[in-house]
Amino acid sequence: MKSMEGRLVCVMVWAASTICCSFLRSWMELFPNHAVVRPDRMLPCRRKPERCEGDNAHTLYRSSESDHGTDTASCSEHGQSPSQLSMSGSGGDAQCESNSNKRRRQDKGTPLERFDRKHLSVTDLTRQAWCEQQVFYGLELPHIQQLRDDAPVVKAGSSIHLARELEIQDIVPINIESREDSWAVKLINFLSMIQFLQAGERVRELPVFGEVEGILLVGVIDELCYSSSGELELRELKTRAQPTFPSAAQRKSYHLQVSVYKLLFEALVKGQLKKDTIVQHLQLQTERSFGSEVMLHAKKMGLFVNTFGELLDLIFLNLTYIEIPTIDVLKIEYCYQADASVIGTEVVRFEEKRVVKELKHYCSFWKGQREAQGVDIEEAWKCRSCDFADICQWREKKAEEAVARNRANHRK
């Protein structure tokens, strides 16, 4: 195992590609097993939690942010800290009134502005593929959406994902003190896993991000690995409450998910994402110093960086010199929750033109170019399991249209 001084040389001298390659080798020797960070404590929330898609690296370090859609914070959707949530009486009423006034001021903005979203998760878009109107009501009524996310079937699926992840990497909690810290954790995990992937190893819970239609998308790839023939495979795990394959409607959203992961990953490794794009969308302070625990962890990983801007520079420098192939195969594995047995595996055909067209359509909602749309009449069966069915204006509108058509037909 090389010394920290040796790694310091590899990290600090950024000008030459040979130094970068030396850095990769020293990283692998220093960390033969994966370690991923997960932030252990969320900062006080000042915005509604966004659904994200996870973070990792083989000892995965994590904050209380999970990117399986967004920041899964322990604070409320109105930005209160856990201690504030226990307050009641006039103070709580005042907070609700304040948030209500804020929502009214934002009603005329785009959904991104109204719901204070600096980025979207891939999960946000795949939920639109199921029912966009349901996504909208989940944003308007986050307490109901949280109940959906806390359902036993969802937690059972998360447990299976975690067990898979722990097969090859450890999770290390780390405290964060700022949004810059939180994103630093994601980037450190990403950089760590890229080194292992370049060495031909399997990685799980790989964070990816990129710009699509002017919107920053964030996601987490369940698994990347090489096949026996040397092809790079993306594998997505989906758990099922019943030992059967999902419906065509469910598979449609899953196909979109893995296809978007491929687009984001390949844009990253090809150097198509720029530093300024991340900074602009996330509105982070590049000169802000990291918190003590993030700083200590970065040094342990051989990253002698003090600010978010320095870390971004290092990330994009490494992306300039790494040699990672594009993803050749997209696979979805379906697993039965009761005993974690495999139901079957589906190979997904990547159709870039179709995926880009779908993304443009879904992003147009977030940019305020059109209203949310519900399901077509052929898929009205989805409404039977929807928590928002009783208040759904789209459903009511379609019912009225059906009645009007029937009356018109009777007159003929």
CA distance 150 to 167: 25
Task: For the beta carbon of residue 5, count every other beta carbon within 10 angstroms.
Answer: 7
Instruction: For residue 349, report the phi and psi dihedrals to the nearest 5 degrees.
Output: -80, 130
Q: Which two tokens stand for residue 296?
A: 């200590």
One pLDDT digit (tens) per residue for the chain, 412 residues: 444 333 323 333 233 333 344 444 444 444 445 566 666 543 333 233 333 333 333 445 544 333 433 333 222 233 332 222 222 333 334 444 444 444 444 567 999 999 999 999 999 999 999 999 999 999 999 888 787 777 777 777 788 877 788 787 778 889 999 999 999 999 999 998 998 999 999 999 999 999 999 999 999 999 999 999 999 999 999 999 899 999 999 999 999 999 999 999 999 999 899 999 999 999 999 999 999 999 999 998 889 999 999 999 999 998 888 889 999 999 999 999 988 899 999 999 999 999 999 999 999 999 999 999 999 988 999 999 898 999 999 999 988 888 888 888 887 6
One-letter amino acid at 150 equals D
How far does CA 327 lie from the centroid of its chain?
A: 19
The pTM (predicted TM-score) of the whole model is 0.76
* 134 in Cβ contact with 127 (< 8 Å): yes
CA distance 128 to 115: 16
Q: Which two tokens stand for residue 158?
A: 């998360």
- 166 contacts: CB under 8 Å, gap ≥ 6: none
How far does CA 279 lie from the centroid of its chain?
A: 17
